[in-house]
Amino acid sequence: MIEAPSPNQDERPAGVPVDMLILHYTGMRAGREALDRLRDPAAKVSSHYLVEEDGRVFRLVPEHRRAAHAGISHWRGHAGLNARSIGVEIVNPGHEWGYRPFPALQMAAVCDLCLGILARHPIPARNVLAHSDVAPDRKQDPGELFDWEGLAHNGVGLWPGADPPPPGEAALLPLLGAIGYRTDLPLSVLVTAFQRHWLPGRADGIADAPTRARIAAVAALCAADDQRKSGA
């Protein structure tokens, strides 16, 4: 762990649990450029951690403090998610500068980092999120090439098994809302965000049968995660 403190932090509000983990990509040409920006007082942005492509991990903000990473954000009826989340920036040029797969060394470091975070905070598996999940009308990171399935198989987040029969399109907004997405946005925006997380390689916003089936599968997974938490 490399210490690289950012001035862009403040106290978390009292009484608000840290119950979300939000993963981002940096979307800049190089990791050094991203690290400098996250530590620039004029930029007013930060994250708790940054993970380089070679697996190095930088700590910018202590977990008990609030970092400025999520911006205007919503999940499961909550808004302003910086107050209740840990933010991890993952170095990748992003869609603007040449989006590419995340190296295995980097993903291993992300996994280890996330497992530690989850051990320290009451974050349910269903609240391991993409920036694009919580800001679907603004963000697309970490994107459709990110290995959510691999993380889930190693204990970070959720991933469905076999999909059920696809529901009709009328059921999609309620199901997406049950997963946690805000439902006051166009369906195509929500479907695109969902696909980036749950359908590798897809980000077309088309609610076809495989997408509808996967939405139903993830909604069921989230309900089961709630039951596990209440039974613990």
Considering the candidates 52, 89, 96, 169, report the single residue annotated as catalytic: 89
Task: Answer yes or no: 11 catalytic.
Answer: no
Longest dimension (CA), the chain: 50
Strand partners, 2: 58
* Amino acid letter for position 9: Q
Strand order in the sheet with 49-51: 2-3, 57-59, 49-51, 85-90, 20-25, 128-130
Question: What does the chain come to in residues?
Answer: 232
Provide CB contacts within 8 A for 43, sequence distance 6+: 8, 37
**Token couple for 126:** 């269903």
Single-letter amino acid, residue 228: R
Pair 92, 25: CB distance under 8 Å:
yes
Alpha carbons 178 and 162: distance in angstroms, whole number: 19
Q: Cite the active site residues.
A: 89
